[in-house]
Every structure is written in structure tokens, then in C-alpha cells.
Chain A
Amino acid sequence: MSMTTTAGHVHADPHHIGVVIEHPGPASKRIVTAYGFWIFLLSDIVMFSCFFAAYAVLSGQTAGGPKGSEIFEQRNVAIETVCLLLSSFTCGMASIAADVRNRFWYYLGMAVTCVLGVIFLIIEFREFADLIARGYGPSRSAFLTAFFSLVGCHGLHVSAGVLWLLTMMAQVFAKGFRADVLRRMMCFALFWHALDIIWVGVFSVVYLLGGGT
């Protein structure tokens, strides 16, 4: 019996190591969705890498304007970072709550995530507004161009994430923990965590490296 099986699958075992792994067929919807979203996130990270590269190229081009160390306020950045990292934790709590179908903890987790995200955005917005008011807007120098674009691109992603978050809460409220809603929730969580990873990059490359003299 085993002989015939092997003979029938001779092509699946090209090196004759005796292990035949037949592809089992199409994956489940949950796996397919998550996989596709991972691919999207990778492409998004490629996009961010362009803005990182542009920042690396242009960070010295201050054109007589301020350098990074003159305008970055470490205290604000620290608060921003704490907000985002905490929000990743609460987003994880919301995901777990969704998996066990607990509405109360789900709404709580998502609401706290939302509040932390909005605090982050407000701090960032005030930082930008303050710089522009001092005449250090993005058109002042190539360095500021790259700075505003890289940090702003992340900020835009967080804003889109907040919009998505509110939509997800509304959807759970309207539709409950349906299979497709849970799949979307999984994608949202991946997105939110990915933004955290990118923020770690922004924090290190822009604020830590640029903050020193």
C-alpha cells in the first residue's frame, strides 16, 4: 500500500527522501485575509522606507534653518511614544475580547485605544502648528520637508486608523461578532501594531538620532 502511494506521488518527492507533502488545498478565509493584509502591510512599510530614505538624505540640508536638535522637544515625544505603546496594549486587549465575544471589554479596549490615538495626534498636531507658527514649516528647508513628511505620513496613518477603529466599533455594535467582522478586527489590530513598529523607527531615526548635537 505504501509503495503504491509513493509511486503515485513520485513528483512530490524529487529528492527521494521519503517525505511526501501534498498541498492540502485552498486555505481558510481567515488565513487568506490575514495573509493578504500582511502583504499589504509589507508594501506600506516599503512606502515608509522611501520617506525614511528621503529623511536620511535630506536631514543635513537645513538651508540656514533650524537643526533637529533645536526644535525637537523630547518630553512631548516621550508622551507620544507612551501613548502609542499603551494603545497597542489596549488594542491587544480589544482583540482578545473580540475573540471571546466579550462586548464590554471590547468596547472599553477600543475606546481607550481611540483616546490614546487621539492624544497622540493632538500632541503631534500641536508640535506641527507650533513649528509652522515659528516660521519652521515644511517649506523652510529640505530637512523640514523630510521631517514633516515622514512624521506626517505616520500621523495620517494613525488618523486613518482612528477612523477605521470607530468604524469597527460601530460595526460590532450593529452586526455583533460575525466571522467577517472578526476578520476585519484582526486586520485592524495588525495595522495598529504595524503603526507602532513604524513609530519606533521614527522615534529612533528622527528624534533620538536627531535630538543629540
Chain B
Amino acid sequence: MLGKLDWSAIPFDQPIPLVAGGVVLVAILAVLIWVVVKGHLPYLWHEWITSVDHKRIGVMYILLASVMLLRGGSDAIMMRIQQAVAYQSQGYLPPEHYNQIFSAHGTIMIFFVAMPFVIGLMNLVVPLQLGVRDVAFPTLNSVGFWLTATGALLVNLSLVIGEFARTGWLAFPPLSELSYSPGVGVDYYAWSLQISGVGTLVAGINLVTTVLKLRTRGMNYLRMPMFCWTTLASNLLIVAAFPILTATLAMLLLDRYFGFHFFTNEAGGNVMMFMNLIWAWGHPEVYILVLPAFGIFSEVVSTFSGKALFGYRSMVLATMAICVISFMVWLHHFFTMGAGPDVNAIFGIASMIIAVPTGVKIYNWLFTMYGGRIRFATPMLWAVGFMVTFIIGGLTGVLVAVPPADFMLHNSMFLVAHFHNVIIGGVLFGAFAGFEYWFPKAFGFRLDERWGKLAFWFTFLGFYVTFLPLYIAGMLGMTRRLQHYDVAAWRPWMFMAAFGMLILSIGVICQIMQLVVSIRNREALRDRTGDPWDGRSLEWATSSPPPVFNFAFNPDVRGEDAYWDMKSRARQQSLEHDEPEYQDIEMPRNSPTGFVCAFFATIMGFALIWHIWWMVILGGLGAWATFVVFAWRDHDEYVIPAAEVAAIDRVNLEERRSLVSMAGIV
């Protein structure tokens, strides 16, 4: 009846996951009760859960990422403490638990923090920057988000029901095969990634189509803001790479569920094929994450330097070059597995070549700052911090791209330090910069600068204190994923890294404080004009937060830096004061399709993990029925009458006129 599921799945003998799970459960229940008692449930349901508005979906993506960041961060703290105390002892975490923690940490940070954070920012900003009212497929967008949330839910469910994978974040066979991992851990891993992978693919298709087919009048390709270009590149990579992950995990699951022999040791299975396939996805994935961050830095650096982006066209070229070359370097993740010197040399050279366009970008940002009137607001601090940190990470990356060096450093703590250097210094700093930069656009008030700057400095410092020691430990021969060790020379560095983790945690607390303080002072921090940073692209041409239809009129773009151009023209030619003729606007209606579909996907995923076959069929039928019901509805759009559009738009127009005329006088 319930497949493999019984009471032994609840880890009564392990206090840490049980207590952690219990606390989270209580917290969730408390929030739910608060929502219901306060009567917020209808609002949440109508305005957020069923929303197909790209801005709301973007915000929900970022919220999911932030919550998961706390979960992944807790895993990181536990690992750092374990390695600090586990010198000639077992530490406080038993090996099977420690192995689950590092696997969950990697999985969560990549799939449920970094991915939703960048996808959320792209969702929030790209339609605004393109000057359009929504993404190409609004309801599918909602489906994509909720499927991602399903994946995150399943991963966290493994904390209290069953176990998570002990195989590392990519579940290499043969360790991940049934004979060596008989539990449900790998199944939790694989199914949550399959389900959230569908969500990611949907988001990718949606954003590619949006950028290529939905741009406002005059928004030629070479007038798009840099963030739109990197969004395009990143989502092209999603469309091309995520199916590989889906296929690879499907093969692993077939091995585990039906005794197939893709990656087994017996009957001619080929383990190396898994390495090739998973990294053919895995390396583009790195760029899927970091390219949007590059786009964010381009916007931030240009805005806060008060200058157009230096070398716009070379930036576009570099972005698209990275997009293509990222598919030609995957083998550098396993130089040591004996592909031979010629193959290794080719991939080593390709890996060094891909550093060139990245270098081009760094110079472009530096030259954008050069001669600019730089304002060091919080987003700009993250951008500058990124440049310094990412160069170090990039250099160590070029180092391990040299096959002989990689033979020494493969799977060492040096590697761990390297990829954290680029992922934290690149993706996370970028996500934080984007968060600070676009928060006023999403919510209508700015974030507190004092706490923001504190958060930056603690995170920046904490990063170096945590990860520079790991480089050294790697040089001293320490391999990754050690539950305990006997080498005295490593110990001081592990202490230092744990201390750095403490500083990083203070940074996180500062960021939470920033949010609390800003919400409390929101009236003082209110952004009335919609253009708090003196921005250059179209998202600043509408109010903060934007109306559901984004723009009363689709803007007419005449050049690069569309909004800057409009502002300059408005200052030169005295302002047009006659009222534009407002028209009715049609917008897509909200739909619970995404939420309901994800509900059935959760049931189906859970049932698949525990081999409850009747429930699998039920979930599958439910998901199909949801789509049929959606396809059967008769009215998929509603009309916002011209009078309402006018009323909403006039308020913002007034604020904007006063701003421009004041600037005109100055």
C-alpha cells in the first residue's frame, strides 16, 4: 500500500535532523496559522499563489532562494564546525549524516538558491527592460516556479522522512547505483531535480521566447540592455543543457528502478558515460548561473558610474562567445580519469580560452568606471567586491585548467575553494547586487544603506577568511569531503575557515536586519518617481512597484540606454504637458494551474521515491487533468479600462515631471 514507506523512515535515533525538521515544521505551521487567523489567505491566494504576473513570480522565486539559502547555509556551518573539531576524532556528526549534509549543501545551493535567485531576477526585470507587459507564456511561468518549489520541498522532506543522498551533489555512479546506495536518498535527489528541472526548462523556454519575440518598438537587438543579453545567453544554455541533465538522471533512475545497465559495473555499463553526460550539462550550468550575474554587474556599474557601458558590443560578443564555448570544456572536470594527453590538452586549452571573454568583461567594467562619477551605493559595493574576488577565483580556475596541475589539485580543498570563489564571488554577489538594485522597483521603497553596507563588508571579509584557508589546506594535500582527519598541519586552517563562517553568518544577519529595518522605515525610504538610482534602462521608466500592466504605453526606443535617452530628451525639449490618450489594456487572468499542477507533482514525486505506484498514477492523472481544465477555460484575459489606466499612470507621471523639471532648473 505505501511501498517502501514505514515508521523506520523517521529518524527517531538522530536528534539533529529531527529537531531541525521539527523546528521548521513548527515555524511553517505558525506562519500558516498567522496567515489564516489574520485573514491574509484570500489575498495570498488571489494576488500571489495564482498570480501569473512576471514581477510577482520573480519575487516568489527570490523568496524561495532566500529561504533555501538559510537552509544551505546551515549545512555549511555544520560542515565547517565538523572539520574544525574532527581532528583525530569523529567530531559531532556521524559519517553517514555528514555525507548527506555535503550532498544536500551542494544540491540546494546550486538548484534551489542560485538558480531560483537568478531566474527570479530575470523574471522580475527582463520584461520591464524590454518595455513589454509580460513574458511570452505567463501561466507556464507560474507552473515553472511552482515545480521548482516542489523540488525544494522534496529535498527538505528528506530531512525528516527517509534520508538524502550521501553521494555528493552530482551522485556519481557506481556509488549512486542501487547496489551501493540502496536507500531512498539518491531517489530523493534525482526526483526533486527531475521535477524542478522541468520547471527550469519551462522558465528557459519562456525567457528565450520573451527576449527574441517580445520587445517593444525600436528595441533592436543591439539596443537591449546588457542584462537582457546575458538573460538570452543564459536561457539558451538552459534550453540546450537541462535536457541533458534530465536524460542523465532518467538513465540513473532506470538503472535504480528497473535494473538497467547504463552506468553499472556489470553487463557492459559505462560509468564514464555518466561523467561525460552530467558535465556536458554541468559546465554550461556554471555559465547559466554566472552570465546573468555578469548582466547585473553591467547594469549596476554603468548606472552608478553615470556612464554608458564601455564596449557594449564587445560585451555582447563576449557573452555569446561564453555561451558557445561553455559547451566545449566539460572534460576539464575529470582530467584525471584517463582520457589521454591529447584530449586533456584540447580541453585544457578550451578552458583557458573561455577565460578570455570573461577578461574582456572585467576590462569593460573597469573602463566603464574610469572617468565616471561613481556613487558607492550598496549595489556598487557588491559589484566592486565581485570584480576583486572573481579575478582571484578566475585565476585559480585557469590554474586547474592546466591538466598537470589538475592532477595534483583534483578533488582537493583547493578545488572547493576555487568553485566557491567563483560561485560566491560571482553568482551570489551578483544576486545580492541585483537584489539591492531592483528591490525598490519591486516593492516601492529602497533598502537601508547602513545595514546593506555592513552586510557587504561582513560577507566580503567573511568570504576571504573562510575560503583562502581552504586553498592552503588543498595545497597541503587535504582532499574534499573528509568527515575526519589526522593531519595536524590542516587543523589551524580549518579553525580559521570556521571563524570565517562566523563572519559570513554575521553578514547574513545584517542582511536580515536590513530587510527588517527597511520595512519598518519604508515611508522614509519610499521611491515615488520610480527611478531611485538615476537609471538608464526601461525598468526605471515606470512607477515603483510597476502597475500590473508595467507600461501604460509600450515605450518607443530610439537607441541604447533607452530611458537615459528619454530623460535627456525630456530635459532638452521642455516637457510635453498634454495628456496622452489612454487605451484599454488586456492582461492575462490569474490561474491556479501552476499551484495545482505542482501539488500533483509533489504527490507523484513523493510516491515515486517511495515506490507507491497507485499514488504515482493518481498524481500523473491529476497533473494531466489540471492542464485539460486550463485548456478548457473560456476567458483567459481581462480588460483594464482606459480610465483606470489613466488614474494609475497620472500619479506617477506627475512625480516624474516634477523630478525632470527640477533637474532642468539645476
Question: A and B: real partners?
Answer: yes
Q: How many whole Å from A58's CB to the nearest CB in chain B?
A: 6
Given the known interface contacts A23-B220, A43-B205, A47-B247, the answer about A141 and B554 at a Cβ–Cβ threshold of 8 Å is no
| Residues on A with beta carbons closer than 8 Å to the beta carbon of B221 | 23
CA distance A58 to B268 in the complex (A): 7
Of A24, A27, A138, which is within 8 A of B258 by CB?
Answer: A138
- Interface residue tally on A, bucketed by range: 35 or more
Whether A8 sits at the interface, judged by CB under 8 Å, is: yes
Establish whether residues A50 and B560, one from each chain, have CB atoms under 8 Å apart when the complex forms. no
Which residues of chain B from 199 to 227 have any CB-CB distance to chain A below 8 Å in the complex?
Answer: 201, 204-206, 208-209, 212-223
Establish whether residues B262 and A58, one from each chain, have CB atoms under 8 Å apart when the complex forms. yes
Of B215, B241, B628, which is within 8 A of A26 by CB?
Answer: B215
CA distance A58 to B266 in the complex (A): 12
Establish whether residues B268 and A11, one from each chain, have CB atoms under 8 Å apart when the complex forms. no
| Residues on B with beta carbons closer than 8 Å to the beta carbon of A42 | 239-240
Of B206, B251, B258, B558, which is within 8 A of A54 by CB?
Answer: B251
Whether A180 sits at the interface, judged by CB under 8 Å, is: yes
Q: How many whole Å from A203's CB to the nearest CB in chain B?
A: 20
| Residues on B with beta carbons closer than 8 Å to the beta carbon of A163 | 624
| Residues on B with beta carbons closer than 8 Å to the beta carbon of A63 | 261, 266-268
Establish whether residues A39 and B205, one from each chain, have CB atoms under 8 Å apart when the complex forms. yes
Of A23, A47, A142, which is within 8 A of B267 by CB?
Answer: A142
Whether A31 sits at the interface, judged by CB under 8 Å, is: yes
Establish whether residues B258 and A43, one from each chain, have CB atoms under 8 Å apart when the complex forms. no
CA distance A33 to B356 in the complex (A): 37
Establish whether residues B209 and A36, one from each chain, have CB atoms under 8 Å apart when the complex forms. yes
Establish whether residues B243 and A23, one from each chain, have CB atoms under 8 Å apart when the complex forms. no
Establish whether residues B267 and A139, one from each chain, have CB atoms under 8 Å apart when the complex forms. yes
Of A10, A40, A51, A184, which is within 8 A of B631 by CB?
Answer: A184
Given the known interface contacts A22-B220, A42-B239, the answer about A145 and B269 at a Cβ–Cβ threshold of 8 Å is yes
Establish whether residues B214 and A26, one from each chain, have CB atoms under 8 Å apart when the complex forms. yes
Establish whether residues B205 and A36, one from each chain, have CB atoms under 8 Å apart when the complex forms. yes
| Residues on B with beta carbons closer than 8 Å to the beta carbon of A32 | 136, 209, 213-214
CA distance A142 to B241 in the complex (A): 25
Whether A140 sits at the interface, judged by CB under 8 Å, is: yes
Establish whether residues B218 and A22, one from each chain, have CB atoms under 8 Å apart when the complex forms. yes
CA distance A175 to B630 in the complex (A): 13
Q: How many whole Å from A65's CB to the nearest CB in chain B?
A: 8
Q: How many whole Å from B257's CB to the nearest CB in chain A?
A: 11
Which residues of chain A from 15 to 37 have any CB-CB distance to chain B below 8 Å in the complex?
Answer: 21-27, 31-32, 35-36
Establish whether residues A180 and B636, one from each chain, have CB atoms under 8 Å apart when the complex forms. yes
| Residues on A with beta carbons closer than 8 Å to the beta carbon of B270 | 57-58, 61, 142
CA distance A10 to B248 in the complex (A): 49
Whether A143 sits at the interface, judged by CB under 8 Å, is: yes
Establish whether residues A140 and B267, one from each chain, have CB atoms under 8 Å apart when the complex forms. yes
Given the known interface contacts A8-B558, A11-B223, A145-B261, the answer about A35 and B212 at a Cβ–Cβ threshold of 8 Å is yes
**Smallest Cβ-Cβ distance to B268: which chain A residue:** A61
| Residues on B with beta carbons closer than 8 Å to the beta carbon of A111 | none
Establish whether residues A40 and B205, one from each chain, have CB atoms under 8 Å apart when the complex forms. yes
| Residues on B with beta carbons closer than 8 Å to the beta carbon of A21 | 220
Of A14, A25, A50, A148, which is within 8 A of B243 by CB?
Answer: A50
Q: Give the number of residue pairs across the A-B interface with Cβ within 8 Å.
A: 154
Of A11, A23, A145, which is within 8 A of B559 by CB?
Answer: A11
Whether A149 sits at the interface, judged by CB under 8 Å, is: yes
Whether A62 sits at the interface, judged by CB under 8 Å, is: yes
Establish whether residues B201 and A43, one from each chain, have CB atoms under 8 Å apart when the complex forms. yes
| Residues on B with beta carbons closer than 8 Å to the beta carbon of A25 | 215-217, 554
Contact with A along B511-544 (1 / 0, CB 8 A): 0000000000000000000000000000000000
Q: How many whole Å from B549's CB to the nearest CB in chain A?
A: 13
CA distance A157 to B123 in the complex (A): 30
**Smallest Cβ-Cβ distance to A148: which chain B residue:** B260
Establish whether residues B268 and A54, one from each chain, have CB atoms under 8 Å apart when the complex forms. no
| Residues on B with beta carbons closer than 8 Å to the beta carbon of A145 | 254, 260-262, 267, 269
Of B217, B260, B557, B558, which is within 8 A of A149 by CB?
Answer: B260
Which residues of chain B from 589 to 646 have any CB-CB distance to chain A below 8 Å in the complex?
Answer: 624, 628, 631-632, 634, 636
Whether A46 sits at the interface, judged by CB under 8 Å, is: yes
Which residues of chain B from 542 to 572 have any CB-CB distance to chain A below 8 Å in the complex?
Answer: 554, 557-560
Establish whether residues B277 and A50, one from each chain, have CB atoms under 8 Å apart when the complex forms. yes
Q: How many whole Å from A175's CB to the nearest CB in chain B?
A: 7
| Residues on A with beta carbons closer than 8 Å to the beta carbon of B208 | 36, 39
Of B217, B246, B267, which is within 8 A of A141 by CB?
Answer: B267
Whether B244 sits at the interface, judged by CB under 8 Å, is: yes
Establish whether residues B222 and A149, one from each chain, have CB atoms under 8 Å apart when the complex forms. no
| Residues on A with beta carbons closer than 8 Å to the beta carbon of B631 | 167, 171, 180, 184
Whether B189 sits at the interface, judged by CB under 8 Å, is: no
Whether A44 sits at the interface, judged by CB under 8 Å, is: yes
Whether A77 sits at the interface, judged by CB under 8 Å, is: no
Establish whether residues A46 and B559, one from each chain, have CB atoms under 8 Å apart when the complex forms. no
| Residues on B with beta carbons closer than 8 Å to the beta carbon of A58 | 261-262, 268-270, 273
Whether B363 sits at the interface, judged by CB under 8 Å, is: no
**Smallest Cβ-Cβ distance to B205: which chain A residue:** A39
CA distance A42 to B240 in the complex (A): 8
Establish whether residues B268 and A35, one from each chain, have CB atoms under 8 Å apart when the complex forms. no
**Smallest Cβ-Cβ distance to B224: which chain A residue:** A23
Given the known interface contacts A149-B260, A175-B632, the answer about A11 and B215 at a Cβ–Cβ threshold of 8 Å is no
Of A8, A27, A47, which is within 8 A of B246 by CB?
Answer: A47
Q: How many whole Å from A210's CB to the nearest CB in chain B?
A: 15
Given the known interface contacts A27-B214, A58-B262, the answer about A36 and B136 at a Cβ–Cβ threshold of 8 Å is yes
Q: How many whole Å from B565's CB to the nearest CB in chain A?
A: 9
Whether A126 sits at the interface, judged by CB under 8 Å, is: no
Whether A174 sits at the interface, judged by CB under 8 Å, is: yes
CA distance A205 to B550 in the complex (A): 50
| Residues on B with beta carbons closer than 8 Å to the beta carbon of A151 | none
Whether B242 sits at the interface, judged by CB under 8 Å, is: yes
Chosen A-B contacts, 20 in total, with CB atoms closer than 8 Å, are: A9-B558, A25-B217, A26-B214, A36-B209, A39-B209, A44-B243, A46-B243, A54-B262, A54-B273, A57-B270, A58-B262, A58-B269, A58-B273, A141-B267, A142-B261, A142-B270, A149-B251, A171-B632, A175-B634, A184-B631
CB within 8 Å of A: which residues of B?
Answer: 132, 136-137, 201, 204-206, 208-209, 212-223, 239-244, 246-248, 251, 254, 258-262, 264, 266-270, 273, 277, 554, 557-560, 624, 628, 631-632, 634, 636
The 5 closest A-B pairs by CB, nearest first: A61-B268, A142-B268, A50-B247, A47-B243, A139-B259
